[in-house]
Structure 1
Amino acid sequence: MAVQLPGRFARRRPRTLRGRQIRTAYLFLTPALIFFAVFYYMPIADIVNTSLHTGPQADEFNGLGNYERAFDDPAARNSFTITLFFALGTTLGAIVFGLGLALLVNRPLRGRTAFRLALLVPYLTSVAVVGLLWRNILHPHLGILNRLLEELGLPTQQWLNTNPLATITVVTVWQIAGYTMILFLAGLQGIPEVYYEAAYVDGASTAQRFWRITLPLLTPTTLFVTVMSVITGLQAFGQAYIITNGGPANSSDLIVFHIFNVAFDSRDFGYSSALSVLLLIVIMVFTALQLRAGRRREVQY
């Protein structure tokens, strides 16, 4: 014979089950929350606290003095400007070349799997190795590129001195294009073929199918690539440190490299922390603006 529980107990049981589920979820999330708290949030809080101090040991309270100094420092402004141009160049290059390569390898070509892997190898290689490789290739006297120009009877170039910012931008695009290609390739393969078939029946050309179907439906992928490329460009360090050393005349002094020099060459940890916080704010603002603009342009068929 079934026992009928009183109404208050019947109502309490689902609530207790819900509470157990919430406690279990937090129990599984606890290691990740501890990891983020120890290795992300606590260092950020420490940097913010350090940015409010000055002195060799960053032990003298300075309030917002370091931030005021950052806005008045021409070297910091120059470094931020250079980094913005670098991030813009690498983002546009990653989108254009990544999408172009994705369209190419998405076709039924012989050996396309090996071609995809070959294009992905630079991204899987560390920035240090890529930097050393290209520094040797672009060396004005011993580099392979200038040797090739000599063999062809063409004038050699001072690749690392004439326009170093463009040089490290091209090197960075070369390294990350394979990664963006994989992302765009996944987006292309997620577009239903029926759209292209219907457009073909309606007489749409290849260019019209690309502009009216492929590009609009790749908006989420393009948004993701844009956000990640901008963040990567703003945080770039190894290219300036290894390939150009920030020169000549600070023309490739990326902001993270500038922060590194302020912290470990000038031993000004308070000011370098303030620059780091400002960089974090810039990244957050750019990311929020890109996400907002991307959601407005998202197209659904």
Structure 2
Amino acid sequence: MSTGQLTERGAASPGRPAPGKPGVRRAPRLGSRRMRRAGAFYVFTGPWLLGFLILTAYPLGYALWLSFTNSDGLSSHPRFVGLDNYREVFTDPDTLDSLARTGLFTAITVPLTITAGLFLAVLLNQPIRARGLFRTLLYLPAVVPPVGAALTFKLIFDRDSGSANGLLDMFGVNGVAWLADPYARWVLITLTLWAAGNVMIISLAGLQDIPRELHEAARVDGASQWQSFTRITLPLLSPVLFFQVVTGIIAALQTFAPLLISLDPTPQGVSAVPRSNNLIMINVFTQYFANSRYGYASALLWVLFVFIIAITLVVFRLSKGAVFYSVDPEQEKTRSRTIGGS
């Protein structure tokens, strides 16, 4: 049998597909892989997209519309006032004071919380006995609901029956009004630091991702523990710390639930909040539910939203040269495009 006959027989055998004609392209089928992937994408993301539109996009748009009106929450036809609410935001002394106090609170709590969490993470990364137990105990406050934690602190620092004043009475010190000025601010800061276990657990995960060989090599070269920490640990941990700075700033600027420790159990309600703890979210709550100024309160929230975005962008800008990634994000993006061929 000749070679040509064998080739023709092999091409026509049922085990091999017949070669297609050159220049002829098959029409895409409905059940193609690309369409199946697109269908799976929309099936799995559909519930989230629906929830985002109903629970996030619509409330944001409605609040933006309210910020240009004098809505009181009851009238079905509020009057359009343009930028009057936003002008009042930047001219109202109480609002400006609450913004300043919120910025001061953020500037104090974010560095302290990150420093405390990193310190605990470094301690619990050492080979000590019952290390797992200590990690669990220090992380427990982070999983306590904020309202429960705030009410617990309120009971502890109550002037008449709180355990803090009970401890002071044992040393002959008269009771202190912890939940009034000037101590209320420091109680709130203490409550924030009490829940530093979340920062600790993230920093601990970052520490365990650092190769031990780097510290061993530094020790062989004669580096001290402090030099090893500042020259190796902190640079390699900088992406984790940067993430905690950004999320910590966003959370601190929106602090509201811990402020429950400042509420007076009298009919005065939010008006009884000490001045040092009258942060921007307390002002928003007062405008909404005490003064029924829905339009002005919505403007306050949008100003806070823009303020958070601006600070976040500034932090990202300042992080260049201070955050060291194992792979440069720009190089990683370029490499992904090259591999994908897109």
TM-score (normalised: structure 2): 0.81
Choose the corresponding residue for 1:104, options 123, 127, 132. 123
After superposition, the Cα gap between the structure-2 partners of 1:231 and 1:300, relative to the gap in structure 1 and judged at 3 Å, is: closer
Q: 2:159 touches 2:176 (CA, 8 Å); kept in 1? A: yes
1:288 lines up with 2:313 in the alignment: yes
CA distance in 2, matches of 1:261, 1:183: 35
After superposition, the Cα gap between the structure-2 partners of 1:264 and 1:196, relative to the gap in structure 1 and judged at 3 Å, is: same
Q: Deviations over 1:139-198 (max 9, x none)?
A: 2232211221221244553322223222201211112x1110000000000001111011
CA distance in 2, matches of 1:211, 1:202: 15
Q: 2:185 touches 2:276 (CA, 8 Å); kept in 1? A: yes
Correspondence for 2:207:
188
CA distance in 2, matches of 1:248, 1:59: 30
> Which letter maps to 1:44?
L
Correspondence for 1:4:
19
CA distance in 1, matches of 2:81, 2:231: 56
CA distance in 2, matches of 1:294, 1:111: 37
Q: 1:99 touches 1:180 (CA, 8 Å); kept in 2? A: yes
CA distance in 2, matches of 1:125, 1:28: 31
CA distance in 2, matches of 1:112, 1:180: 17
Correspondence for 1:220:
239
Q: 1:164 touches 1:244 (CA, 8 Å); kept in 2? A: no
- Higher relative contact order, chain-length normalized (CA < 8 Å, sep 6+): 1
Correspondence for 1:39:
55
Q: 4+ residue runs of structure 1 moved beyond 6 angstroms? A: none
1:241 lines up with 2:260 in the alignment: yes
Q: Which has the larger radius of gyration?
A: 2
Structure 1 gaps of 5+ residues are none
> Which letter maps to 2:284?
I
Identity percentage of aligned residues: 33
Q: Deviations over 1:234-280 (max 9, x none)?
A: 11112223335665652211111110110000000000000011111
Q: 1:219 touches 1:294 (CA, 8 Å); kept in 2? A: no
RMSD: 2.3
After superposition, the Cα gap between the structure-2 partners of 1:202 and 1:10, relative to the gap in structure 1 and judged at 3 Å, is: farther
Correspondence for 2:298:
273
1:70 lines up with 2:86 in the alignment: no
Structure 2 gaps of 5+ residues are 1-11, 265-269, 327-342
Q: 1:220 touches 1:294 (CA, 8 Å); kept in 2? A: no
Out of 46-55 and 21-30, give the one that drifted further.
21-30
1:121 lines up with 2:140 in the alignment: yes
Choose the corresponding residue for 2:44, options 28, 36, 46. 28
Q: 1:122 touches 1:174 (CA, 8 Å); kept in 2? A: yes
Q: 2:238 touches 2:323 (CA, 8 Å); kept in 1? A: yes
CA-CA distance at 1:20 after TM superposition: 4.4
Between Structure 1 and Structure 2, how many residues are aligned? 300
